[in-house]
Homo-oligomer: A and B are copies of this chain.
């Protein structure tokens, strides 16, 4: 079962898919040259939005947390891609320490950790799970359903190395996005850390990512001769904002107004009859906290206390002071009346699969990755690496191939972002 696009596929997206499909040779060659120049992150997930007339990444995660949602049929693809990643990034590694987030109650997240550990073990690595939970003093075994268990062990520092009580790993893989900063125990360690510490949300900014993405999208659009807008959402940033003190709102309002105009012009140019909207969200951090859908400058002018409070607090209760204003891209994919948003998973520079976040209670212009949002994952039915030139551009393997191409563009942007 694959979600269908509610817009008729005769508009710009079909054109985009056709362009991508008829240029696969050029595209793959171009990617090959890019991966000679840039090192892909160890792993990446990209949230896409498909409006029928536009297909764009809206978030690129360097600590993907949904490996449990992937189609188990394609796990071998993940294992093979992980082998490539290990080869390139830490060929000498034999023991790996995986450090997840400190969520012990989110069984879905724990299933993600278990799946990830299992993929890495199948590449031949020894893998144990080290936890940064502050008061953990001995191994903690958690039930993760299906008669499976996950054991978290306290991470121990010895000089410039970290490990477990009886385990001295060669490399450390973070599945923890460091939103709250780099814990002292991880600072200055001599082992290889994957991804590097500066991939954490304590340093990373969405605006830096989308600056890099804009360049990548422009080069790619030129390569296959399309308007880059089809794959690139507008964005802008405001400097310091204090939602409580109502400082910086004028900047926000001005950017929102300008961006809505820009989008309107593009909609007019392509005969699109939807209402333009923008998303305002924290420039750092993830988990869809502090996110607002805005359809008019007035929406940010008259924030009430509740809205201001919501915007002001990000993950781990951190104050949001920098925001990104991003063109809203409609999700016009749905399945049984529920909205579906594709998420593409990659290891090394290979697309290993993906899933849809399927949600009945949200609108086509809302973020589907928000707190309290219990989406139903729907694994991709086919892999993203099997385009079929004989089939229609919107046939399932071709749609997923296109998703894989746009997701790889976002991953390439992340690779460039990490170099800076």
Q: Given that A35-B87, A93-B29 are contacting pairs, would A383 and B76 also be in contact in the complex, using a CB cutoff of 8 Å?
A: yes
Query: In the complex, are the beta carbons of B124 and A27 less than 8 A apart?
Result: yes
User: With an 8 A cutoff between CB atoms, is A33 at the interface?
Assistant: yes
- Per-residue contact bits, chain A 91-123, to B (CB 8 Å; 1 contact, 0 not): 111110000000000000000000000000111
Complex partner residue of A76 from B29, B122, B386, B389, CB under 8 angstroms: B386
User: With an 8 A cutoff between CB atoms, is A266 at the interface?
Assistant: no
Query: In the complex, are the beta carbons of B387 and A91 less than 8 A apart?
Result: no
User: With an 8 A cutoff between CB atoms, is A32 at the interface?
Assistant: yes
Query: In the complex, are the beta carbons of B25 and A125 less than 8 A apart?
Result: yes
List chain B residues, Cβ under 8 A from A87. Answer: 32, 35-36
User: With an 8 A cutoff between CB atoms, is A79 at the interface?
Assistant: yes
List chain B residues, Cβ under 8 A from A264. Answer: none
Q: Given that A81-B80, A91-B33, A91-B36 are contacting pairs, would A28 and B385 also be in contact in the complex, using a CB cutoff of 8 Å?
A: no
Minimum CB–CB distance from A18 to chain B (whole Å) comes to 16
Minimum CB–CB distance from A164 to chain B (whole Å) comes to 16
List chain B residues, Cβ under 8 A from A350. Answer: 80, 83
A90 nearest CB neighbor, chain B only? B32
Minimum CB–CB distance from A328 to chain B (whole Å) comes to 32
Copies of this protein, total: 2
Count residues of chain A with CB under 8 A from any CB of chain B. 40
Which parts of A67-99 form the interface with B (CB within 8 Å)?
73-77, 79-81, 83-84, 86-87, 91-95
List chain B residues, Cβ under 8 A from A33. Answer: 91-92
- Per-residue contact bits, chain A 165-202, to B (CB 8 Å; 1 contact, 0 not): 00000000000000000000000000000000000000
Which parts of A115-171 form the interface with B (CB within 8 Å)?
121-126
Which of A36, A94, A95, A124: most chain B Cβ within 10 A?
Answer: A124
Query: In the complex, are the beta carbons of A126 and B32 less than 8 A apart?
Result: no
Minimum CB–CB distance from A40 to chain B (whole Å) comes to 12
User: With an 8 A cutoff between CB atoms, is A222 at the interface?
Assistant: no
Q: Give the 10 A-B CB pairs with smallest separation, nearest first.
A: A28-B124, A76-B383, A24-B124, A32-B91, A25-B126, A25-B94, A79-B385, A29-B94, A32-B87, A122-B386
**What is A's interface to B at a CB cutoff of 8 Å?**
24-29, 31-33, 35-36, 73-77, 79-81, 83-84, 86-87, 91-95, 121-126, 350, 383, 385-387, 389
Q: List 11 A-B contacts (CB under 8 A).
A: A27-B124, A32-B86, A33-B92, A74-B76, A76-B386, A77-B77, A79-B383, A80-B80, A121-B389, A122-B385, A122-B387
